[in-house]
Structure 1
Amino acid sequence: MVRRQFGTKGSSVHSGILLVDKPHSLTSHDVVARTRKLAGTRRVGHAGTLDPMATGLLILGVNSSTRLLTYVVGQDKEYLATIRLGLTTSTDDAEGEALIQAEADAVRNVSEAALVAAVANLTGDISQVPSSVSAIKVDGKRAYALVRAGETVELKSRPVTVARFDVLERRQVDGFLDLDVRVECSSGTYIRALARDLGAALGIGGHLTRLRRTRIGPFSVDAASTLDALDVATELIGPADAASALFPTLSLTEQQAIDLGHGKKVPAGDLSVSGALGDDGLVAGVAPDGRLVGLVKIAGDIAKSAVNFPADGQDS
């Protein structure tokens, strides 16, 4: 699991990101609302919604660093979950109405070989139909809102990548087969849908009973604070450290920082980049004083600012 130390935490930082270990039963918006009060600003957002039943890593952006959340959302993720095989539900998780329960003998007779094969078929580049109670918009409305209003929602399949799908433990519980699993996946993958599809592949149905997000990109829940213990002044990760965790770091001279901040293009050959460029060509442009100037796009022999960041404290 990824662990990272960040150097610019402290009360002098007015914007940045927060790593919060979301508790069970709260919505992601509940966490944002509490954090707004703690931070003394309404400019707080989150990346990657967690359902109330889920716990684990929720990344919040404060003030100008909410601009980084777009790039956090697209990062790969890791989850620990429990899948219950032998029962389908209306929401593909334990919060929904029980629909079809398999015979206890059918559940007991699921072989290790069948389970391994079914998991393997749900690993790698796959096509997945999201759960109907997801937050995906259909005709401008959230799918879950339509379902709660009694409408039938059919979502289209979409390509996702499940890089890792490990069964950590299996156990028989009251006629069901519970699996503790670890999943590493691309953004947009629904673990509830994996539970549903695994149960369907085995012919006994399945749903999710526990979900905990343990990682988003380079950020680990190990470094997160609980909501009750959250101290924004000391836990805020400054914009430069946050951006440098997400992108290669571009060390700028004072003049380059001024030019890029004013929207000017600079020769890429004169730039010092730490780390390999991704397909998007974005890097975190950091001034000599450690300030995040912005996200800089390098294309060929030219670099220009893609997203500017104000000096810390100017947007709070």
Structure 2
Amino acid sequence: MTPTTSDPATAVADGIVVVDKPAGLTSHTVVARIRKLAGTRKVGHAGTLDPMATGVLVVGLNRATRLLGHLQLADKSYDATILLGATSSTDDAEGEITAVASAQDLAGITVEAIESAIAGFRGEISQVPSKVSAIKVDGRRAYERVRAGEEVALKARSVTVSRYDVVDVRTGPAGLEVDISVDCSSGTYIRALARDLGVELGVGGHLTMLRRTRVGAFGIASAHTLEELAESFDWLPIAEVAADTFPRYDADDEQAAAIRTGRPLSGLKLPAGQTAMFDPTGTFLALYEPHGPVAKPTAVFVS
């Protein structure tokens, strides 16, 4: 996908911007910054990143905010560092250290032991999310309840960790530092992986660094920092994103007129799943999918 460049403070059209989020900012703050840079109020993001985390945040502009829900953004990749030997109240470095392993216990943790423990967290696993996650409990975010002093118990959920590699293991001033790379399904908490690895090894553990390197087809190589976007606002037009993400169908004038109003199309054989529908001028109109002998819209992006 080739980005389109707009001058800062000039309103852009419908599209996607891939942000390299810095540490210390919430995803909400990043969206607010993009609103100003893009010159539009209609901005949304896919896949929240915690303030301490950095990396890929996919942001939709104008009508592309509706496209975010249809993109294949479930699979994500992360680079992270786990500190073994200390347990945190939040499962990451922003929390209070609640337990510290002895030097003797840590000395018994070998690279082989770490690799063996990690093998049990690959594939489809049952994971209890971190207590400070954004999951709602009786209408309130779990992290809000924790910060208010409440005890929160979250239910385990099934997630898939397709890759969980050890990149490096070294002795740090506070314990063993383990660099990892992970490919996982949406809903996987890397903080929980850090916590559970520490539990499995009997020494405790928490996350000290997290960088998201990919969301679906959007990788870190195509991401831009907020400073770069302030200098040159690079974004991906909605038509290009749709054409690169879904099978493409180029409609004739009569079909395009029907698509614009969301009418079913008879006798049109589309592949399974969603197809991006374009008019003769190359304008992206809608997403359609087959329903027996007709094709019906799942989302129309023109009025």
Sort the TM-score into its range (normalised by shorter chain).
Answer: over 0.9
1:45-71 residue CA offsets vs partner (Å, 9 max, x unmatched): 111111110000011111111002223
1:195–1:208 contact (8 Å) kept in structure 2: yes
Once residues 207 and 245 of structure 1 are traced to their aligned partners in structure 2, the CA distance between those partners, rounded to angstroms, is: 38
1:27 aligned to 2:30? no
1:189-226 residue CA offsets vs partner (Å, 9 max, x unmatched): 00000000111011111100000000001111111111
Amino acid aligned to 2:292: G
1:51 aligned to 2:32? no
1:127–1:158 contact (8 Å) kept in structure 2: yes
Shift of 1:175: 4.7
One of 2, 5, 8 as aligned partner of 1:6: 2
Amino acid aligned to 1:302: V
Once residues 86 and 249 of structure 1 are traced to their aligned partners in structure 2, the CA distance between those partners, rounded to angstroms, is: 52
1:69 aligned to 2:65? no
Once residues 196 and 246 of structure 1 are traced to their aligned partners in structure 2, the CA distance between those partners, rounded to angstroms, is: 35
Once residues 171 and 214 of structure 1 are traced to their aligned partners in structure 2, the CA distance between those partners, rounded to angstroms, is: 22
Shift of 1:257: 2.1
Q: Quick one: structure 1 residues 229 and 268, their matched pair in 2 at CA, closer, same or farther if it must change by over 3 Å? A: farther
1:125-180 residue CA offsets vs partner (Å, 9 max, x unmatched): 00100001000111111110111011111110000000000000110112511111
Once residues 201 and 149 of structure 1 are traced to their aligned partners in structure 2, the CA distance between those partners, rounded to angstroms, is: 29
Once residues 267 and 131 of structure 2 are traced to their aligned partners in structure 1, the CA distance between those partners, rounded to angstroms, is: 46
Match of 1:244 in 2: 243
Q: Percent identity?
A: 51
> Structure 1 length as normaliser, TM-score?
0.89
Match of 2:177 in 1: 178
Alignment size in residue pairs: 299
> Structure 2 length as normaliser, TM-score?
0.93
SS at 1:20 equivalent? strand
Match of 1:314 in 2: none
Amino acid aligned to 1:95: E
Match of 1:300 in 2: 292
Once residues 210 and 71 of structure 1 are traced to their aligned partners in structure 2, the CA distance between those partners, rounded to angstroms, is: 30
Match of 1:283 in 2: 275
Shift of 1:183: 0.3
Amino acid aligned to 1:85: L
Gaps (5+ residues) in structure 2? none
Matching of residues 15-164 of structure 1 within 5 Å: 15-72=14-71, 74-164=73-163
Match of 2:226 in 1: 227
Aligned-residue CA RMSD (Å): 1.9
Once residues 186 and 61 of structure 1 are traced to their aligned partners in structure 2, the CA distance between those partners, rounded to angstroms, is: 21
Shift of 1:270: 4.8
